[in-house]
Amino acid sequence: MSTLPSDGVTLVLAIPAATAALLALLPGYRLSATLNVLSAFLTLLAALSLLIWKPESGPYILVDDLNIVFVVLNNFVGFTTSVFSASYIAHELETGRLTPVHLRFYHAMYQVLMFAMNLALLANNIGLMWVAIELATLTTVLMVGIYRTREAIEAAWKYFILGSVGIALALFGTILVYMAATPVVGEGLDGMLWTVLVKRVSAFDPALLNVAFVFLLLGYGTKVGLAPLHAWLPDAHAEGPTPISAVLSGLLLNVALYAVLRFKMLLAANFQAIAPGPLMATMGLGSLIFAGFMLYRSDDIKRMFGYSSIEHMGIIVFAFGMGGPLANFAGLLHMTMHSLTKSAIFFTVGHIAQIKGTQKIASISGLTVTHPLLGWGLVLGVVAIAGMPPLGIFMSEFLVVSSTFARQPLLALPLVAGLLIAFGALLLRVHQLAFGAPKGGTGPVRASYLPIAAHLTLVLMAGIYLPPALVAWFQHVARLLG
Amino acid sequence: MGHLEFDVAHLFAGGLVLVSFMLLYQDRLYALLNVFALQAVVLALSVAWQAYVHDAPHLYVTAAIALIFKAIVIPVALHRIIARLGIHREVENVVSIGPTMLAGMGLVALSMVVMLRVTTDAYPLAREDLAFALSVVLLGLLMMVTRNNAVSQIVGFMSLENGLILAATGAKGMPIVVEISVAFSVLIAFIVIGTLLFRIRERFDTVDVEALDRFQGERR
Amino acid sequence: MSLASWALVMAHHRDEDNVRAGYVYIVMASFGTLTLLLAFGLLAGPDGNYAFDAMRLQSRSPQWAGILLGLVLLGTGSKAGLVPLHVWLPLAHPAAPSHVSALMSGVMTKVAVYGFIRIVFDLLGPPAWWWGVPVLAAGGGTAVIGILYALMQTDLKRVLAYSTIENIGLIFVGLGLALAFDAAGLRTAGALALTAALFHVLNHMLFKSILFFGAGAVLTATGERQMDRLGGLIHHMPVTSFIFLVACAAISALPPLNGFVSEWLVFQAILLSPQLPHWGLKLLVPAVGALIALSAALAAACFARAFGVVFLGRARSSAAKRAREVDRWSLSAMAVLAGLCVIAGIVPGFVIDGIGPVVEAVTGARMPAQDSIKWLSIVPVAESRSSYNGLLVFMFIAASASLAAYFIHRLASHASRRAPAWDCGFPDPSPATQYTAASFAQPIQQVFGTFVFRAREHVDMPAPGELRPARIDIEMHDPAWEFVYTPVAAAVSFVSGRLDHLQFLTIRRYLSIVFGALVFLLVVLALWP
Amino acid sequence: MIFDLAIQNAQMLLVLLLAPLLTGFVRKVKARLLRRRGPPLLQPYRDLLRLLRKEVVLAENASWLFRVSPYLIFATTWVAASLVPTFGTGLLFSWSADLIAIIALLGTARFFLVLAGMDVGTSFGGIGASREAMIATLAEPAMMMIVFTIALLAGSTQLSSLAGFMLSSGVGLRVSAGLALVALVMVGIAENARIPIDNPATHLELTMVHEAMVLEYSGRHLALIELAAALKLLLYMSLIACMFFPWGLAPPDARTGAQLQGFAAYLIKLAAGGFLLGLFETMVAKMRIFRISEFLGAALMLGLLGMLLLFVSRSL
């Protein structure tokens, strides 16, 4: 594509794409794993370069302050997950759950997924974004089903069907947005460009925008995992390989959320259209409370954290739904913190499940005794995700709650109740997992602690001290979000 | 755009909705597939008409995809699946035909009401066309929801997707419609291959979705 | 802070009970944190300005102020252990190491009290007349139920933990009184009540620290926390037992020690209640006074029991027999605190004057300065009304005791002789025939426990000729668990059970949900005006 | 000042001297009512002297607390007793402790008595201590209710002011005061281990409370405890007299004549009180131990009722 600016953006997209092609050809998992890590690292560097040299946006590619946050986060977690995946996959190969052929496929798909997500984030074109998200969905479907067990295929199938319907609805919404745009901006490519749409949206037909938003919210909301559209999420998390669970929770949900946010910005700029906020806030709140209750009823450890992702997506969507600089800031921060923490949790959980040979909570206990590093890592992660001070998520939850107070004091009540319900469940489970008399396998572990430590350190640091530059950046983005 | 062109486009769109109702009405799988092929043909005609009217040659590609892929390849493939599975007898409806049709009427009415709020000056064809497209989408979804059988669910999904293509082509001058239709074809191919794969691997004895997702969750 | 304490509670997590304790603790702590968070959010108002000055300036409608009060009461109450938010305290304290429980009991609960004072008195604006009512009721109920619990426990640290609940109740009664007086514009009376509460905060910090250190010393020396396996420690640990005795007497509100002074001040404040304009309060305050008096009497019984069973009598286990005094540093730390207890008890005027500026800052009034009063008495309102002189009482007691000792040594026989205990002619060789902690509390449990805790005794008496021992089991129900927590847990379980069905649907049904959501939203759009 | 000091000292001596006499008097009354001759009035003094001369037999594992407690019990009781106005209100140190403090002082005495009972580690000591603690948990709040009633009525907890208020004409007859009086009598009976709560004359194992606690005491220690018990009885009598029947009480600045007059009145009141106590004790039987809670609960309720009625009558 000649219209691509030839710099960081190109690299961010080209590296994963090229590596994917390469990995599909290369045999030997060791080399592929190394290459995978290397490529993820290079992509991360390219993404970081966007912070410094911000390219101009073209007809297909848009780089603004909002999506840089997402891109950097995306590639950071993508990189650490690739590190984790290297040690995880080695173990899977030993136990024979995966074959080298699978692995070749797996690594290639991993890079395709990274490419798709980066593309979705950087796309300036709502159609292109839709295509990228569909690609990401297809890739993850394949990855979720990679174990070929009955349960894995069921989960993948469920994910596939629900995801496809979601995607279809999103497409309809996209078409509607375009149709709303044509009378104002004219036919052709312009009607699908963010940069154009945002500027002119106030003149669009509000009724059309309303319908469009309903479809987009439901469509991309399915991918975000908002209740009641969430059904695929826990299964997909539980049955896929753990690195994929981490990527799903930490990244793909964000990408879908990013899409919702973009359209929310559109709608918010048109004053005659219905306000998207209340709708999002309601769905967010519903997801939070629903997932909070469901957390009590999960006995599969990965499934439980899948529900926890729904819960946190609920909080984030609620925050963005509330709107206003403070709530948006809180939502952004919460999203970042959640990505970091949740992927760290999945890293530990992946190792734990490998050691214990099971994912059932009931058959795991006393982790802090048998595997202190993993056990305490899990405890720290859960404590963080549950929103205890002084970790980062507490900060953002505090901001969400207090900004809710500022605007809708009554909504804070169910919000806090939901937080408390989820908190009780998470802590209940982690008490069972990490403490008490040891249960389950006690074998030694070849874990990669580095990604876990890196994520948790970041979360802890964010809880204690947020660099002013980051705060300023987020505040700026929050204002962009309106 | 003259009166005639408008009327023809309208006719095709309306025909699509009508075929959707026919789909809902079917209770045999082979007949279902035939009707679906008919829908694909109508869609192809409609798209081709748009291409002709708007002078947008790339839309012919979309029309061709619709015609070849959806009207011929997929129905044939599904035919073979049905034959191999031996499930050609009946569509297992969860909700019987009568209430389904009534619900379908309701959905069409709903999409009309929703779309009539759109201001008319937006685009001459937009309002009615969109209303029809929305109806087709909703009817497709309704079909997915009211059928137990995987094949009929796939058909429902494809009919939903036909509605999308209708909307996309109806939107004058919309870019990357072709790409989108290709992407969707890939999606559908995946679904079809998926059902085939399940059968070949003999993981599941039936393609009843009910049996597929006897879920592994944990009851206590 | 709660995270740190949680980690400390979880220090010995292999024990199932400790795990449960940690869980209950952290959930309650977060409940408190979140309610406080809500309160601060409301206080900050729409501008989100979290500076205290800005909060003071906010104007609130009475309803919002009332909701705030409730939130603050819930938040600080759960930290401080107000009934029925007290359930974590008795679980957490036995699980935590002694010095940690000392800290948790002495400092953390006080932080909660500070928070309450700061928010309610300082930030919330002028109180309404009824604000005192929930605080008083919660405080009074907490005091009685807390100390009754303490009486029923056989684990020494648990006794102390529950007694903390009682003292918190007392403090909140003081605060409630201060609120009520402030609302009625009786500034001096409010200052008196607040002084009493703060004085008690200080006192409790002093003597409860000693008690926890003492319990820790006992634990170190014997490895036992169960009172029924202790006894006779006064012979092996004379210094510890003396200091522990001082603290017991202080916490039992016995003159001339400090516990009595603060309780006396509370009573003085209660006696000012006829000045309150509102009838409900007029009647409530003396009733709360009755509760306070009851809890004071129960506290005396409780600590007589604690000291008597642990330190007096004969050793009930070999561990108790082998106990040795703890090291000098622990002893001197305890001794310094005990000395402070005595000093605060005999010259309370200085303490009151010390608290004065704080009280003045909060309520805008203070008790009259006490340092100019002759003989270092304290006079809360007027001398004709009431006064108390700890120093003189102390001196009188010392003087008359020495006088008696002097005369007896001059006049009476010096002879003394050791002999086996007489015991009304039934000397018993076994220490097991002593009264235990449970048997000591049994009459009180019969009188109060049957009512409050629905306590039932089940006696399992073997048939004649059978050799197994008879057993007595006491079944008690915590009304807080039964009426508050169990229903909440049941409700959560019920709802999650209901929602659980959503996990087992078919793909088709999930699609139906999506479809339903879509149709619903479209209908909403269609009906949108 | 000097005069006040003299009066204070006189009072301290007086209570000390009169206390055994009152105990002896009550015993005498009871004996006469039962048509016995009874011990002589001065018998308690003789008992005390005899005990003082005897050697002390300490149980083998009695601790220092066991030996210190009698002095503490005696001292606190004595201090409390000497702060209650008997014949005159002009006590020099009456302001050093008010009514609440006096009750709390008695509480200190009881606290140590209970501990002393548990010290030796016998079953009887435990029984006594446990029951005493139970009785105290009911008696003390009842007593506080009485104090509240009176203090709210008089606007003071200072005994001198209280007596002065009761003497003034403004009091009249009040229902709440009457209720408080009844409650106070009941509490006094319980506190002093009299029938029907406890029997000071019995050593029947399972019924005793006070005696069970002091079972191991002998010699001078027992003497102190006995004296303290007598002082306590006197104290309650004085308290009732001072709060409800303050007639004849000498005002603070009264001359010697008035003081003497007050003294005579005090003796008469004591005699009447002692007689009534003896009469009451001969008429009722000892209760089961768990009936005590009902008895004292009634006292508590009376106190509370008195306090509530106080508000009612004031509002009229």
pLDDT digits (tens, 9 = 90+) for B66-104: 888 888 888 888 888 777 776 656 556 677 777 888 888
C40 to chain A: which residues are within 8 Å by CB? 402
Q: CB distance A168–B137 less than 8 Å?
A: yes
- The larger pLDDT score, comparing residue A357 to residue D75, is at D75
Q: Is A3 exposed, middle or buried (0-12, 13-18, 19+ CB in 10 A)?
A: exposed
Q: Inform me whether the C-beta atom of residue B35 falls under 8 Å from chain A C-beta atoms.
A: no
Over the stretch A414-466, which tens digit does the pLDDT of each residue have?
A: 888 888 888 888 888 888 888 877 877 777 777 778 888 888 888 888 888 88
Q: CB distance B175–A134 less than 8 Å?
A: no
Which residue, among A293, A262, A260, A292, has the nearest Cα to A279 in the 3D structure?
A: A260
Beta strands in D66-122, from DSSP E residues, in sequence order: none
Round the average pLDDT of chain B to a whole number and report it.
76
Q: CB distance A154–B212 less than 8 Å?
A: yes
Q: Which tokens belong to A470?
A: 């980051």
Q: Using omega within 30 degrees of 0 as the cis cutoff, is the peptide bond preceding C277 cis?
A: no
Q: Nearest-CA residue of chain B relative to A214?
A: B114
pLDDT bin (cut points 50, 70, 90) of residue A3 is very low
A405 to chain C: which residues are within 8 Å by CB? 38, 41-42, 44, 48
Residue at B209 is within a domain: no
Mutate to test the interface with C, among D115, D119, D209, D221 (most CBs of C within 10 A): D115
Contacts 24+ apart (CB under 8 A), D272-278: D273/D237, D273/D240, D273/D241, D274/D22, D274/D25, D274/D26, D274/D29, D274/D237, D275/D29, D277/D26, D277/D29, D277/D189, D277/D194, D278/D25, D278/D26, D278/D27, D278/D28, D278/D29, D278/D30, D278/D33
Whether residues C221 and C321 fall in one domain: yes
- Number of C to D CB contacts under 8 A, please give it: 295
Identify whether the C-beta of residue C480 lies closer than 8 Å to the C-beta of residue A181.
no
Residue at C507 is within a domain: yes
Residue burial C418-427, b: 16+ Cβ < 10 Å; e: rest: eeebbbbeee
User: Within 13 A of C285's CA, how many CA atoms are on the CB side?
Assistant: 34
Lowest mean pLDDT among A269-273, A434-438, B187-191, C71-75: B187-191
What part of A 415-454 touches C (C-beta under 8 Å)?
A: 416, 419-421, 423-424, 427-428, 431, 434-437
Whether residues C300 and C329 fall in one domain: yes
Distance, in Å, from the CA atom of A329 to the CA atom of A322, rounded to the nearest integer, reads 11
Residue A252 pLDDT greater than 50, yes or no: yes
CA of D255 vs chain C CAs: smallest distance (Å): 22
First to last CA, chain A: 33
Round the average pLDDT of chain A to a whole number and report it.
85
Q: Inform me whether the C-beta atom of residue A356 falls under 8 Å from chain B C-beta atoms.
A: no
Which residue, among D37, D44, D33, D5, has the nearest Cα to D234 in the 3D structure?
A: D44
Whether residues C302 and C377 fall in one domain: yes
Whether residues C199 and C319 fall in one domain: yes
Q: CB distance B130–A179 less than 8 Å?
A: yes
Residue at C149 is within a domain: no
Residue B17 pLDDT greater than 50, yes or no: yes
Tell me, yes or no, whether chains A and B touch by having 3 or more C-beta pairs under 8 A.
yes
Q: Inform me whether the C-beta atom of residue B7 falls under 8 Å from chain C C-beta atoms.
A: no
Give this prediction's pTM.
Answer: 0.78
Q: Count helices and strands (H / E) in chain C.
A: 23, 3
Confidence at residue A1, expressed as pLDDT on a 0 to 100 scale:
39
Residue at B210 is within a domain: no
CA of B72 vs chain A CAs: smallest distance (Å): 22
Residue at B55 is within a domain: yes
Q: Which residues make Cβ contacts (< 8 Å) with residue C232, sequence separation at least 6?
A: C311, C312, C313, C314, C315, C316, C320, C321, C431, D61, D121
Domain that holds residue B83: 3-204
- The larger pLDDT score, comparing residue B168 to residue D107, is at D107
Backbone φ and ψ for D194, nearest 5 degrees, come out as -100, 165
Closest in C13, C35, C503 to A435, CB measured: C13
Q: What residues form DSSP beta bridges with B93?
A: B147
Residue B209 pLDDT greater than 60, yes or no: no
- Alpha-carbon radius of gyration of chain C: 27
Q: CB distance B141–C511 less than 8 Å?
A: yes
Whether residues C336 and C384 fall in one domain: yes
Whether residues C443 and C502 fall in one domain: no
CA of D82 vs chain C CAs: smallest distance (Å): 10
Distance, in Å, from the CA atom of C1 to the CA atom of A388, rounded to the nearest integer, reads 10
Which residue, among A50, A36, A127, A121, has the nearest Cα to A80 in the 3D structure?
A: A36
What part of B 129-168 touches A (C-beta under 8 Å)?
A: 130, 133-134, 137, 141, 144, 153, 157, 160-161, 163-164, 167-168
Which residue, among D89, D106, D104, has the nearest Cα to D159 in the 3D structure?
A: D89
Residue at B17 is within a domain: yes
Q: Which tokens belong to C53?
A: 């000055």
Residue at C137 is within a domain: no
Residue at B61 is within a domain: yes
Whether residues C502 and C369 fall in one domain: no
Residue C416's SS3 state is: strand
Distance, in Å, from the CA atom of C460 to the CA atom of C272, rounded to the nearest integer, reads 52
Residue burial C363-396, b: 16+ Cβ < 10 Å; e: rest: bebbbbebeebeebbbbbbeeebbbbbbbbbbbb
Q: CB distance B183–A134 less than 8 Å?
A: yes
Confidence at residue A229, expressed as pLDDT on a 0 to 100 scale:
86
Confidence at residue B202, expressed as pLDDT on a 0 to 100 scale:
36
Q: CB distance C519–B215 less than 8 Å?
A: no
pLDDT bin (cut points 50, 70, 90) of residue B204 is very low
Q: Inform me whether the C-beta atom of residue B22 falls under 8 Å from chain C C-beta atoms.
A: no
Residue at A342 is within a domain: yes
What Å distances lie between residue A149 and A97, A178, C56, CA to CA? 10, 42, 63
Beta strand pairing status for C456-460 and C471-475?
antiparallel
Q: What is the percent of chain C with per-residue pLDDT over 70, rounded to a whole number?
A: 93
Tell me, yes or no, whether chains D and C touch by having 3 or more C-beta pairs under 8 A.
yes
Confidence at residue B92, expressed as pLDDT on a 0 to 100 scale:
63
Mutate to test the interface with B, among C501, C506, C528 (most CBs of B within 10 A): C506
Residue at A181 is within a domain: no
**What are the boundaries of each domain within chain D?**
2-315
Backbone φ and ψ for D253, nearest 5 degrees, come out as -100, 20
Closest in C504, C518, C526 to B217, CB measured: C504
Polymer length in residues for chain C: 529
Identify whether the C-beta of residue A386 lies closer than 8 Å to the C-beta of residue A427.
yes
Confidence at residue D74, expressed as pLDDT on a 0 to 100 scale:
93
Residue at C110 is within a domain: no
CA of C165 vs chain B CAs: smallest distance (Å): 38
Which residue blocks in A123-248 are alpha helix, DSSP H? 126-144, 150-185, 194-200, 206-224, 232-239, 242-247
Confidence at residue A115, expressed as pLDDT on a 0 to 100 scale:
92
First to last CA, chain B: 64
Q: CB distance B173–A299 less than 8 Å?
A: no
In tens digits, chain C (529 residues) has pLDDT values of: 566 667 666 666 666 677 777 788 888 888 888 888 778 777 776 665 666 776 776 677 777 788 888 888 888 888 888 878 888 777 777 677 766 776 777 777 788 888 888 888 888 777 888 888 899 999 999 999 889 888 888 888 888 888 888 999 999 999 999 999 988 888 888 889 999 999 999 999 888 889 988 988 898 888 888 888 888 889 889 999 999 999 999 999 998 899 999 999 999 898 888 888 877 888 888 889 889 999 999 999 999 999 999 999 888 888 888 888 888 888 998 999 999 999 999 888 888 888 888 888 887 777 777 777 776 778 777 777 788 888 888 888 999 999 988 988 888 888 888 888 877 777 767 888 888 888 888 888 888 877 777 777 777 778 887 777 777 777 777 777 777 788 888 888 888 888 877 777 777 788 888 889 999 988 888 887 6
Which residue, among C139, C128, C270, C267, has the nearest Cα to C185 in the 3D structure?
A: C128
Q: Inform me whether the C-beta atom of residue B125 falls under 8 Å from chain C C-beta atoms.
A: no
Which residue, among C182, C164, C74, has the nearest Cα to C126 in the 3D structure?
A: C182
Q: Using omega within 30 degrees of 0 as the cis cutoff, is the peptide bond preceding D85 cis?
A: no
Distance, in Å, from the CA atom of A336 to the CA atom of A349, rounded to the nearest integer, reads 20
Mutate to test the interface with C, among B141, B147, B164, B207 (most CBs of C within 10 A): B141
pLDDT bin (cut points 50, 70, 90) of residue D271 is very high
Identify whether the C-beta of residue C492 lies closer than 8 Å to the C-beta of residue A293.
yes
Neighbors of chain D by Cβ distance (3+ pairs < 8 Å): C
Average pLDDT over residues A274-278: 83
Identify whether the C-beta of residue C527 lies closer than 8 Å to the C-beta of residue A177.
no
Closest in B118, B157, B213 to A207, CB measured: B118
Over the stretch B44-64, which tens digit does the pLDDT of each residue have?
A: 988 888 888 878 788 888 888
C529 to chain A: which residues are within 8 Å by CB? none
Q: Is D240 exposed, middle or buried (0-12, 13-18, 19+ CB in 10 A)?
A: middle
- How many structural domains comprise chain A? 1
Q: CB distance A419–C503 less than 8 Å?
A: no
Which residue, among A279, A287, A184, has the nearest Cα to A228 in the 3D structure?
A: A287
Residue at B49 is within a domain: yes
Residue at B220 is within a domain: no
Confidence at residue D273, expressed as pLDDT on a 0 to 100 scale:
92
Lowest mean pLDDT among A67-76, A469-478, C215-224, D171-180: D171-180
Q: What is the percent of chain B with per-residue pLDDT over 90, rounded to a whole number?
A: 3
D120 to chain C: which residues are within 8 Å by CB? 313, 421, 423
Q: CB distance D308–C245 less than 8 Å?
A: no
- Alpha-carbon radius of gyration of chain D: 19
Please give the ipTM for the structure prediction: 0.76
Round the average pLDDT of chain D to a whole number and report it.
85
pLDDT bin (cut points 50, 70, 90) of residue D223 is very high
Whether residues C202 and C287 fall in one domain: yes
Residue D224 pLDDT greater than 60, yes or no: yes
Residue at B214 is within a domain: no
Orientation angle between helical segments C258-271 and D123-154, nearest 10 degrees: 40
Tell me, yes or no, whether chains B and C touch by having 3 or more C-beta pairs under 8 A.
yes
Neighbors of chain B by Cβ distance (3+ pairs < 8 Å): A, C
Lowest mean pLDDT among B195-204, C207-216, C358-367, D159-168: B195-204
Q: Nearest-CA residue of chain A relative to B202?
A: A150
Mutate to test the interface with B, among C502, C505, C508, C518 (most CBs of B within 10 A): C508
What Å distances lie between residue B169 and A179, B157, B186, CA to CA? 11, 18, 19
- How many structural domains comprise chain C? 2
Domain that holds residue C218: 189-405+435-460+470-477
Whether residues C243 and C373 fall in one domain: yes
Q: Inform me whether the C-beta atom of residue A412 falls under 8 Å from chain C C-beta atoms.
A: yes
Q: CB distance A427–C23 less than 8 Å?
A: yes
